[in-house]
Amino acid sequence: MEPEGTLTRAPLKAPRAGAIAGIVFSTLLIISLVLIRISVPANPQDAGTWLSVNGKTVSLALHLLPFAGIAFLWFIGVLRDRIGTYEDRFFATVFLGSGLLFLAMLFASSAVAGGILMVYGATSGKLMESGVYTFGRTVTYQIVNVYALKMAGVFMITTCTLAIRTGIFPRWMAFFGYGLALLLLLSIGYLSWAPLVFPLWVLLISVHILLANLKPKPAADL
């Protein structure tokens, strides 16, 4: 008889929770990125005319990012739990470090962009004349398209390597992830929709894990 209070169902809940967290992260980040992409010019040296027209849309997109970040942290934690004792220290360090760095830079760029919106709402004329807008816009662009995307690519590579070693998702999905990761590492900001690659990949593996977890277990032989 098991002791009272034993969490016997925890191993079954962890993969499903991680998959749901990954889907939530992907959905929120995709919505946020699409809203920003259709509202803000791709050129970081733009004149800033979008602030008066699409400022509220961008503000909504930025408010979604903290919730996406929380879901991503949950996704990382449960994915590590799924790997379990097969986790390699070297790859686990790079996996965790790249994921946290991606998240930190995503938040940092969002804070800069949010600061621009707040300053524009208070003193729109001074913002443009002082050069703060150009500086903040360029910093945001550099953080997202140069540094955050590279960390996302490293996270994908390490996750795919761990998947091949542990079998947490199919090998074809891992090799497909390698190709997408190289796209992020080599894009250098030329592909304006490149940031969508990462959440779409997370969505793919999250849906696979969720469906695999929902499949009925084969009955044990009598």
DSSP class per residue in 76-89: HHHHHHHHGGG--H
pLDDT confidence of residue 145: 87
pLDDT confidence of residue 97: 92
pLDDT confidence of residue 197: 93
Rg (CA), the chain: 20
Torsion angle defined by CA atoms of residues 79, 82, 85 and 86, in that order, rounded to the nearest 10 degrees: -80
pLDDT confidence of residue 13: 54
Closest CA to 205 of 13, 22, 76: 22
Describe the crossing of helices 132-142 and 89-122 by its angle, rounded to 10 degrees. Answer: 160
pLDDT confidence of residue 154: 94
What are the phi and psi torsion angles at 172 (to 5°)? -65, -35
pLDDT confidence of residue 132: 86
CA distance 84 to 49: 50
- The runs of H, that is alpha helices, within the chain are 10-39, 50-83, 89-122, 124-130, 132-142, 149-166, 171-187, 197-214
Whole-model pTM: value is 0.84
Torsion angle defined by CA atoms of residues 188, 194, 197 and 200, in that order, rounded to the nearest 10 degrees: 160
pLDDT confidence of residue 84: 64
- How many Cβ atoms from other residues are within 10 Å of residue 181's Cβ? 23
Closest CA to 117 of 68, 164, 64, 61: 61
CA distance 102 to 18: 18
In this structure, what token pair is assigned to residue 87? Answer: 């986790």
Query: Which of helix, strand or coil describes residue 168?
Result: coil
Residues lower than pLDDT 70 in the chain:
1-15, 82-88, 124, 188-190, 216-222
